[in-house]
Amino acid sequence: MNPTRRGILRTALGFGGIAAVHRIGPAWASSLTETPAQTAGPFYPVSRPLDSDADLTLVQGRSARAQGRIVHVMGRVLDSKGKPISGASIELWQANANGRYAHPADINPAPLDPDFQGFGMQTTDDEGQYRFKTIKPAAYPVNPRNPRAVRPPHIHFIVTDRDRRLVTQMYFPGEPTNESDIIFGQLTADDRRAATANLLKATADVEPDALMARWDIVLTGS
């Protein structure tokens, strides 16, 4: 990302870099339950978009914002003892506000959104912090012939540090399709809590109707 683009991103996010995540509170990790590994699914990007920064609501070269409700996803990457992991690479990808991925294998007839980036990357700072600006993805059908088979809103993550790599998914609390989901439903109670974000009240520096999702990622083992 060039310096101008970086400055635009920081202005759009309403904070001076990801270090501002720390203002929300001190040690967030109330539990050091390992974040559960989950499937990457079939829709990891075939090729990464040229614009793959931390603001998925704007596509470089386009003026319109992505459709849907903005959500700021933020947290820290920690080891099993609660120590922040700096320099960890985070990849994030998801469906759009209509429940469709920008992927040739997605047969969902819902419309694509040309103004939604769909994929982002960043590296955790010295405090292990990360922050993305995106939109809340919609639930979507898994099998068009089975209307009950629906995946709840979720966001995919790959987190990689020097000797660990975690593929996982983040869920939103209170979604009616969480419990019936074929993937979330296989998790233990502890893993469900670890895979679910906490929603916070929007602060004054973000959009008034935006969601703020706080989600710490705990890496253990190698």
The residue from 76, 100, 130, 140 that is catalytic is: 140
| Rounded-to-integer distance, Cα 12 and Cα 144, Å | 37
Is 130 one of the annotated active-site residues of the chain? no
Q: How does DSSP classify residue 127?
A: T
Q: Do 152 and 171 touch, CB atoms closer than 8 A?
A: yes
Is 140 one of the annotated active-site residues of the chain? yes
Is 44 one of the annotated active-site residues of the chain? no
The residue from 156, 162, 165, 192 that is catalytic is: 156
The residue from 23, 101, 164, 214 that is catalytic is: 101
Q: What is the CA radius of gyration of the chain?
A: 17
Is 156 one of the annotated active-site residues of the chain? yes
Q: Cβ–Cβ contacts within 10 Å for residue 25, how many?
A: 9
Is 22 one of the annotated active-site residues of the chain? no
| Rounded-to-integer distance, Cα 109 and Cα 194, Å | 32
The residue from 100, 103, 131, 154 that is catalytic is: 154
Provide the token pair at 107: 């047969």
> Looking at the annotation, which residues are catalytic?
101, 140, 151, 154, 156
